[in-house]
Amino acid sequence: MSFKNIESQNESCGNSEMTNRAQMASEAAEWLNYHHLLRFRAIAREGGVTRASRLLRVSASTLSEQLAELEAWLGEPLFDRQGRALVLTDAGRAVLDHADAIHESGAELLDLFRRPGAQKKRRALRIGAVAPLSKNLQFDFIEPLLTRPDAAISVSAGAFEDLLVRLRCHEVDVVLSDAPAPPGGSPEVFNQVLGEVPAYLVGRMRHLDESAGFPACLKGVPLFLPARNAPLREQFELLLARAGVQPEVRGEVDDMALLRLLALSGKGLALTSAIVVERELDSDRLRQVIPLPGLSVRFHAVTVRRRLANPWIEEVVSGIQERIRRFIQTVEESQPRPLPRRRVSAPRSAKASQVRSKNRLKAGRPGRSPRP
């Protein structure tokens, strides 16, 4: 090989190396500091640098410097400084939307590879259940996975609003509730209806005069009701208000297990959905089972859109929907008829009526005989 060819080859390699360095420099110039971006998100979500610094456990001055660097890199101010308050600009709101999406993707990635049991190839299903929700429903929801060696289940109870926050932060995969999640928020939530179960007044009272019919028979009867914020409670009170009946509320309970025990105590009637007393209905332990026309409880599974969806959710949701459908069908087949508005007095026997009619005909008197 001639020296001229070697020189030409070296020159070509040198030019290629210079081109690669230029490309790397260009890419470095366009590189986004995600660390600064997520710290900007913390400042925006916490409402200020001081609160964000406490959350992140870094100094406020460090956060301020990183925010300034991000604004300089983007070429736009992200906050308007109004006194001590920081207010997002239009550019800041746009950047926050992207920062939220990046944070959610990162949370999903960590959840997928760093969750407990990941090395054993077990998939966890983390369920949040609204505190008053029926334990029977929760058990029916998780039962199909109890025998699966590749499934790990965790159930935590809490207030609906708190569980929705945890759902959006990917701390739980699904929330079970007797009310749908309100629209809006980020990320978007989805309400899947699991089923709609009829409601009853149930109890084991020794003496209950049902002759007046429903709802008049409830006058003076002790009632145990769900908490005031429960949808079923609102429906029930509206039903009684339309009928002009003032209920005698003996207790308000936001725990369905306790409400079931109160129904079995014999001290009054409890307002509940059929699924709460599912086993009592099967075993005929209840003396009173009063259907409530038009009243029911609708159960929901609340989820959020995720790039890496949990495969267990679709399986357990479809399973519980089918179980509730079969349960409702069984309940409707054995459902007692609603109490009449009033009780009609029992007619006299047919034989006695025939004897009286024959006597009247013999005496030539179709009606009652005159007094002597």
* Sheet strands side by side (includes 189-203): 151-158, 123-130, 174-177, 288-304, 189-203, 269-273, 222-226, 248-253
Tokens of 223: 């009632």
Q: How many angstroms separate the CA atoms of 131 and 202, rounded?
A: 22
Statement: 197-296 belongs to CATH 3.40.190.290: yes
Residues 6+ apart with CB under 8 A from 257: 135
| Cα–Cα separations (whole angstroms), residue 70 to 19, 74, 229, 288, 303 | 28, 6, 45, 68, 33
Determine the pLDDT at residue 149: 83
Domain covering 32-112, topology:
Arc Repressor Mutant, subunit A (1.10.10)
Q: How many residues does the chain have?
A: 372
Annotated domain spans of the chain = 32-112, 197-296
Could you read off the pLDDT tens digit of each residue along the chain, which spans 372 residues? Answer: 443 444 444 444 445 444 554 454 344 446 778 888 888 998 888 888 888 888 888 898 898 898 989 988 888 899 988 877 788 998 888 888 888 878 777 776 776 666 555 444 567 889 999 988 888 899 999 998 888 888 888 899 999 999 998 898 888 999 999 989 988 776 778 899 999 999 999 998 888 877 777 888 888 899 999 988 888 999 999 988 888 888 889 999 988 889 999 999 999 999 999 999 888 887 878 888 888 888 999 999 999 877 667 778 888 999 899 989 988 888 777 655 554 444 333 344 444 445 444 444 444 444 444 443
Give the span between the Cα atoms of 358 and 35, in whole angstroms.
103
In this structure, what token pair is assigned to residue 184?
A: 């809006």
β-pairing, 248-253 vs 85-88, is: unpaired
Q: Which residues contact 316 (CB under 8 A, 6 or more apart)?
A: 125, 141, 142, 144, 145
- The tally of CA atoms less than 13 A away on the side-chain side of residue 245 is 20
156 phi-psi bin (left φ>0, alpha ψ -120 to 50, beta other): beta
pLDDT of residue 328: 86
